[in-house]
Amino acid sequence: MKPSVGWIGTGVMGESMARHLLSEGYPMGIYTRTPAKAEPLLKDGAEWFENPRALARHHDVIISIVGYPHDVEEIYRGESGVLSCPAEERQCQIAIDMTTSRPSLAASLYQEGSQQGLSFLDAPVSGGDVGAKNGSLSIMVGGAEETFHKVAPIFEVLGGQIKFQGAAGSGQHTKMVNQTIIASTMIGMCEGLIYANRSGLNPEVVLESVSGGAAGSWSLTNLAPRILRGDMDPGFFVEHFVKDMEIALQECERMGIQLQGLTLAKELYEAVIQSGGGKLGTQALFDAVDSMSRRDSVE
């Protein structure tokens, strides 16, 4: 019999991920701060629970994917959080946080969970709304390797690239690598499209050429076509990406390194937020880069 799953978070990615598990026959309970967002999953057979503590009391595995580190803290350490449920009353023995969050928070939750008989994994993902819908996410896992193997069948439903990275917090550190690479890649992609437009090329044909060469990337394949269509709907929110870059830069400071590309990308994305684009998709960077590229001569 498949383990029951208590799912927390039904945003742009969370709903699709939860639906994959439901369709594979995993019994599921749902908690979200906005109950209306859970309605589609409830209609498909999930059951509503009033808080994370109630989920922990009645499910084998808790999985969370929310917005910010403070949301993660509330889910696990809050008054009605998972860890507030006494061990003798708690059915849950494994918790998996798939939010992109602080490595130090993941490590501390692992320690607290261990003291209460709860094994905690940090397992952030990459692949955006497309990867969530297709069940092809890249999943980066930190924690106890024994626990990772126990829940591997769950990960296999959600992702196509699943790697155990090491001790608690290692999944989050790996996600910071991922976000650092994407940050600079997004600048290059936007500048390349601007160049194509200004030089009179057909951007669609250009994309066909460069996507299959050394410049190819996930962002180029999935986000550049959205830019050309003027589609700025979120597969991943700008404000969440800025949060990720802030975490990465805090880790850089702690480790004594400076990453100039990451710093620049954060500044550009903050300009998007200041112009009201925090809830847009990360491809909205194009407008900010395009505006900066227009250098009208002043006599």
Longest dimension (CA), the chain: 77
SS3 assignment, position 212: coil
Catalytic residue among 133, 175, 266, 279: 175
Distance CA 195, CA 187 (A): 12
Question: Which residue carries 């309970």 as its tokens?
Answer: 29
The helix-helix angle for 170-198 and 238-255 (nearest 10°) equals 120
Burial annotation 85-112 (CB, 10 A radius, 16+ → b, else e)? beeeebbbbbbbbbbbbbbbbbbbbbee
Active site residue 175: yes
Q: Are 49 and 75 in contact (CB under 8 A)?
A: no
Q: How many CB atoms lie within 10 A of CB 240?
A: 19
Distance CA 98, CA 141 (A): 9
Instruction: Using the Cα atoms of residue 278, residue 73, residue 104 and residue 13 in order, give the sign of their dihedral.
Output: negative
- For the chain, helix (H) and strand (E) counts, in that order, are 15, 9
Residue from 168, 140, 176, 174 nearest 251 by CA: 176
Q: Are 37 and 46 in contact (CB under 8 A)?
A: no
**In this structure, what token pair is assigned to residue 188?**
């290059």
Question: Ramachandran region of residue 163, left (φ > 0), alpha (ψ -120 to 50) or beta?
Answer: beta
Active site residues: 175
